[in-house]
Structure 1
Amino acid sequence: MAQRLFADPPYPAAAIRGEETLYPVHRIFCVGRNYAEHAKEMGVEVDREAPFYFLKDAQALVPSGAVLPYPCGTSNYHYEMELVVALGAPLFRAGTAEAGKAVFGYACGLDMTRRDLQLEARAKGRPWDLGKNFERSAVLAPILRAAAVAEIGPQRIWLSVDGAIRQEAHLSDLVWRVDELLSHLSHYYHLQPGDLVFTGTPAGVGAVTPGAVIAGGIDGLPDVTLTIGAAE
């Protein structure tokens, strides 16, 4: 029987609030331009015909509270505070009602971005991978089970850098709701438990430098924190 040349890296796993069990993460989907004001500050418009996505490797995941080195290859490293949805059931070609019932839980997340590389790729019509899908670029707080969340919409979402508020909005400002996103994605992928969806960021994104302390929150969910260390 053929043997693998080297061992597979284990899938990362996320903490679940109040539990000792972990949530294995297989894929990370990210939604672009899902807040109109953020799209405006980036000099683009929301595509209201359909949401669009990019992916991060599961190995990009790091837990809240980490100290991460300033990443290589960039001089414009940005935070993006987001609501993250964790799937708890398979979905394929699902309607919104079925999609909404497949949510395992919700969490606060940071989509860390090498903005200069993203914008350079965007200007040339190239994929965003160098700007978005890099090591330790998806920071995740513990997941709160969906049963503990009455509804998604009225909650305030915010982010601060060194104690100063930089992003602030409400989840009702999302262009595409959670159930709409999951339904749409399920027409292009066989979604499974272990899939995370970062649902987009509000206006107010900006650069951080070594020594910065980032904190973000959504009403009712565990906060996410990150400290930027020295460059590697």
Structure 2
Amino acid sequence: MKAMILAAGKGERLRPLTLHTPKPLVRAAGVPLIEYHVRALARAGFSELVINHAWLGQQIEDYLGDGERYGVHIRYSAEGEPLETGGGIFKALPLLGEEPFVVVNGDIFTDYDFSALRRPFSEKAHLVLVNNPAHHPAGDFSLADGRVADATVDDASLTYSGIAVLSPALFAGSQPGAFKLAPLLRAAMAGSQVTGEHFTGRWVDVGTHERLAEVESLLQGER
């Protein structure tokens, strides 16, 4: 099973840190955010990784290399101009193969055990959901009996963590170019083709300086 780390974001809310450094290489406790994912995926048994990039992406390739020092093999999908989440994954499908694969947003911090995703999947997608953070109180989706649906006003909602298993079948009919992932997920939900789980461990969407400081505090507490 392969895994893809999404690393094409520009990180505008983390300026000036991201003016000359791609967001995935911003450091927390001295370690680039993306390196935590690479090491966690390696521990979980993933040996084939794909990483997409756009803004200052060559720096990511220069830093991680072919992945040998982490015990993995890394291939890169260079976008030039960002293709958004859906378009970026679609462009990388030739590197990911025909089987379901794990996708991880490069700008989150988590202690999720990725080995839990190394199992057969028959649906078009499986999403890891978390409690709604303060900056996203409305959430994204509802979870009931292991199935994910678009949240309505009456539903108890959860937030998409940026961790998922996706089947290439999710992208059937897609065309090259920039497009979002969410409409594809919602279409699959309408056909009851999306499963999910509720993760309650450590998870931070590192989109601002304040949340980066939160990750620093979590890591310092482990020392």
Greater strand fraction, Structure 1 or Structure 2: 1
Higher relative contact order, structure no. (Cα contacts within 8 Å, ≥ 6 residues apart): 1
Scaled by the length of structure 2, the TM-score of the pair is 0.29
Greater helix fraction, Structure 1 or Structure 2: 2
